[in-house]
Structure 1
């Protein structure tokens, strides 16, 4: 965790220390709050020095995550491969098409990144349509699983009501409005920037890492794409990349 971590309200600009159990701006009651780390070239230089001796997983970027240390429950989330899709790229007329393989996370999902950062306080409620395998994966972590016979949106409403009743004891995951979730997903962008610099080195590059021209991701709530783009903007402010990609989903 960065010593300069704070959260900023995107509605009114109010800034305060980060607290995981606070979801709304105390000044304007706004829902959209974002983590800041005082990103600058000095922090970027410090990060480059430190990650040289760290494993390639999401914890190598801990200075830019809202947690103090790697938790004991971690199963080495992140660090997924970036594959050069040569055949598909040839069909599409794209010489340098790369696919980030998030299936290589512990439970075959990018959501492992989100879960591990909030797991200690998070309980899940799942709709009845969720596959048995996924429910089993959640239960493995010692989490209480409550099966709700309803649609995805209805289940979210039930979860919100349940969390509200458990005052002070239950963390409600709020998707794109959740600080830990966005911070977890930006590590996908960090990894891609590192991997692209190695796979596609740019002669005379002014920055050590490289961003793609375009970033494509399948969307549901949009958490992944929003988090990744936040990560790229942070890297640019730290002088680690020289551009932010266009995005589509």
Structure 2
């Protein structure tokens, strides 16, 4: 594993020590956008050697993940998912070279398994025995599974709109599941209040360094699977936006190490019934105005993306990109088309 050398503020460049699970905030300008820095020269040497003897999962890139002594932990496997060249779906739309990163191969079939693997490992290293998380579904199940293996008691707060199977799945792994009659943003507030009253650790999603760092392993895998080449575009449907925010940290590190020659353009996709990022992007604003979600796709129902949107907006301004919304009907039609053309569902 690797010890973070320091945290650097993207806004003002201030450097400060990394304190596990402390509030991610710049001491100089109060910005919440801090990036972890590691010994990249040593890691680059390992990459050039072919990363010998390492499994193909996210721990393959342990040198740039925020754990000091992974050997002392029973690390939860995640990542190492296939990258498929679309054979029928994308060509039918007029695109010959579209690759699909298939995160169904994770322990609970979601890219949130990466977040849970690194986040829970960091909890164990910090001696945390009990934690609280608010989720629209996938993160709750991923954390419940990882916490079960690590022996960490987990309290999961989910809106009552989340499908029953997600609630049951989280409970199956032993998590204490609390249903909240409200939207996801209200659920997050209630979870935070509960954690504060009981003095428990609260996972803060995009504001957590371990959570955000976990997502950059997607970029490392994609580049390695493409023969150490960068794609032209990276496209992801988002709710709160943690995924691409972390992924682009990986692309930036790879560029800085000279392992790729460009950063891909970013496309953020939201459902029209919950598209605060898209609305702000189209208006040319760097801050998103919260909305009340009105969508059947509950896992994409974060009405207030907060500073995460600002980070993603800055990425599009620096590297190029766009933010677009689709209706629920269009999203379901695309899901059916992908299932029938590529066998992915």
Shorter-chain TM-score bucket reads 0.7 to 0.9
2:3, 2:66 within 8 Å by CA — same for their partners in 1?
A: no
1:1-249 superposed matches below 5 A: 1-23=1-23, 24-40=25-41, 42-49=42-49, 51-68=51-68, 69=70, 71-72=73-74, 74=76, 76-119=77-120, 120=123, 121=128, 122-124=131-133, 125-167=157-199, 169-170=200-201, 172-197=202-227, 209-249=228-268
Q: CA RMSD in A?
A: 2.2
Unmatched tracts of structure 1, length 5 or more? 198-208
1:44, 1:239 within 8 Å by CA — same for their partners in 2?
A: no
1:47, 1:63 within 8 Å by CA — same for their partners in 2?
A: no
Q: Hey, what's the Cα distance between the residues in 1 that align with 2:179 and 2:48?
A: 44
Worse-superposed segment, 11-20 or 238-247: 11-20
Measure how far apart 1:86 and its partner are: 1.8
TM-score, L = length of structure 2: 0.62
Measure how far apart 1:177 and its partner are: 1.9
2:232, 2:264 within 8 Å by CA — same for their partners in 1?
A: yes
Q: Look up the SS of the partner of 2:49 in the other structure.
A: helix
TM-score, L = length of structure 1: 0.84
- How many aligned positions are there? 234
Worse-superposed segment, 116-125 or 226-235: 116-125
Q: Look up the SS of the partner of 2:115 in the other structure.
A: helix
1:186, 1:227 within 8 Å by CA — same for their partners in 2?
A: yes
| Structure with more relative contact order (C-alpha pairs < 8 Å, separation 6 or more) | 1
Note the alpha carbon deviations across 1:198-240, whole angstroms, 9 max, x for none: xxxxxxxxxxx11101111111111111111110000111122
1:43, 1:238 within 8 Å by CA — same for their partners in 2?
A: no
Note the alpha carbon deviations across 1:86-112, whole angstroms, 9 max, x for none: 212211222211100011111111011
Unmatched tracts of structure 2, length 5 or more? 134-156, 269-345
2:4, 2:66 within 8 Å by CA — same for their partners in 1?
A: no
